[in-house]
Chains A and B, each alone.
Chain A
């Protein structure tokens, strides 16, 4: 049975729809109202507040903490500056991705790591020989994501921390009322936003302060359904949907390298040994088999298909996650991959999807065919290959307090 996050007393009181799902062993709100669209628009136009406590959280401290994490992660964590955060993944020895998450450097010897799957055992198997203390703090620290254009304004009402200076992927300690939280300018919406990390005992106090101050800034509690739309728009992949944890994959074909899931940019190959280095080096040289890419579905074809049945065009009511075949042409001569998740983007006015495609077909701008079912009949529609980051507003990265930013 799932357990309740420390925010449960508040989220449950607000969750009119009683629409929950299980997330990493916790009850997590899918949508507060029967439909999630108002929550989606809060993320994009005001602010949404999302309970992210179910993420796994680790404290990594000690003289060798940076070296230790560099050994595990595909990224060279020793280069990460204090007060900075990086998003990366970690691999098996054969270069297949175990999980992805964020690494935050809070001090010279003090790191905070989040992951989607429990990774204590995986991390600890590399511990020998390093002066490092690894601690699972998943059930001590609660998390909130405050995401949206007004999120900075709301946080400024509850803390004096230098938020105007806090850059994208920066992290800072902050005094809120009479307790300390950690703020990182990170998130899963591809928008201006923050993630807040707080001890369980202070969790409700933090929630209340944010909701009270947020009311003048259009805040709304938001659930995972709305988040799912934003994360597809932002082109952010999801474990067990767009790829599998290599340790849990039943067959080798289900394993992916960082290069195959659009995380190649995070790999720092030329440095001291790290897990997966040899395999990734040879994959880099020989090329990868698969790639994750973005798809934009052709609206006119969709509308035409519906019109054939006398139907007005429909858009999916929520983000979807299922495997849908991708073909090289309308004659379906060859299947070249599969879409794994997608959504109607209300802000871009486009039907978009994330897909795994054979690397040789992954050319931005080229056209492929995606299976598309209308009125019980399978058709295909034209889809144009695009970058995965469909939506990328300037405010995500900008800082009003720093000079070089445009207004």
Chain B
């Protein structure tokens, strides 16, 4: 029998590491067990090809909670995010739209498509920034329990209610539209230009099995506006050394507070004693005992694999099985022997130092979704690409570059069956390269290495059920007090002493850190260890 811990965290993703750091900072004896050789979960950097460090899965940062940086002193431990200044949307006709940090430059760009839109654009940003203020009320606190009459829970509800009421009537009504409408219907209320609306609407579908016209996607749009970088809302950045850099900073913070971290330590099962979690057993048979077990894995993995259906009540099993994952995206990472030039804007400039959205129209996006509905990946998908090596020279050799492509739709359940994804992996990769090559002449000759990750691969490699990048879809019925399960939304599970701290819990996905933080704070508050 191994040494006894206060808490064992299963999975070394950024949330698990943050949870470990907070608990260790409070003086608890913590052990993190990571299945892979490298930490980070989906926020991971790997040198897949000599000299090239890829943000294998998650690739940009905005939502990370700034107070976590301060409380865990992450800047000292290597947390470094470099802002992106441009959002480029190349168009098939050789034209393009670039939106910049420089407001007037953006206005002139958008004016080429609609002068009205160009002038409304900053108003829209202003309103969304107001909405973003809700972030503090919604994502920096555990979700209230609507069934409880405990004073603390009622206070929680009131606090949330007040935050909404403080918006004032106009914004409150707008907020209700936001949570019920589709991303595109919502944008239609503001803008007329399809060229502008298409790249704006995609924030509403990322990681979901929905189209830009599907109701509820406007909320996901808002979710992506809640990010904060240096005090200003809604700005995206690249993590130095890839997104794994953030996970490493979290791990460094955790170990600086005394947490123990083991990699290559896949957990097989949570050990139960009298129905209570008491430890874990690794795949190699090693056992570790602890007062609490905290799972950084998604709800499906946690309940059905770590615990096992045989130990769960039937209603819990039913709800877990109904929790929607249905991953819809893949990732294609390319190492290039030179910087890629876009036909729409020749040359290597600042227009390439932000994100590049292949979203040349709303019909294109809806068509891409149509195919997914019938179990096919999009022949011409929505792609969000970044070239991090132009901003952060540490990720590629001098003069060489990385082109990282987030690709949607690639449904987990293809009609041939998800398990057949490996057969189609490279064909899917070709689709992505072909799509990008329509905008980057000569792309195919630049590629010196290619990694294709289908939803199946995300599941197999990173343990993301059905390849869902958020550990469960960010749809309204799976948020707040219903994430992951009604009645078990406060990081605890139906098993005593077993907690969850991953994106599958409130407030959800993205490199945000809130789930890990809130889980740890709640555990400390409850004095259960």
Contact = CB atoms under 8 A, between A and B. Distances in A.
Contact of A349 (B66, B101, B240, B392): B66
Interface string B26-46: 000000000000000000000
A228 to B, nearest CB: 16
A4 B13 CA distance: 54
Contacts of B391: 41, 45-46, 218
Interface string A372-391: 00000000000000000000
A35 interface: yes
What range describes how many residues of A lie at the interface? 20 to 34
A218 B102 contact: no
Contacts of B67: 299-300
A216 B398 contact: yes
Contacts of B102: 33-35
Interface string A202-240: 000000000000011110000000000000000000000
Interface residues of B, number: 33
Given A38-B85, A41-B83, A349-B75, A312 B393 contact: no
A201 to B, nearest CB: 30
Interface in A299-357: 299-300, 310, 312-315, 344, 346-350
A314 B231 CA distance: 5
B399 A216 contact: yes
B231 to A, nearest CB: 4
A153 interface: yes
A45 B80 CA distance: 10
Contact of B80 (A312, A344, A347): A347
A150 interface: yes
Interface in A169-189: none
B314 to A, nearest CB: 46
B82 A41 contact: yes
B70 interface: yes
A110 interface: no
Contacts, number: 74
Contact of A312 (B75, B129, B350, B399): B129
Contact of A346 (B129, B230, B390, B392): B230
Given A41-B83, A218-B393, A310-B166, A315 B230 contact: yes
Contacts of A149: 393-394
B69 to A, nearest CB: 5
A380 B30 CA distance: 40
B230 A344 contact: yes
Contacts of B166: 310
Contacts of A350: 75
Contacts of A45: 80, 82, 240, 391-394
A199 interface: no
B233 interface: yes
A359 interface: no
B69 A349 contact: yes
Interface string B64-99: 001101100011000110110100000000000000
A347 B83 contact: no
Contacts of A310: 133, 166
Interface string A32-56: 0111011001001110000000000
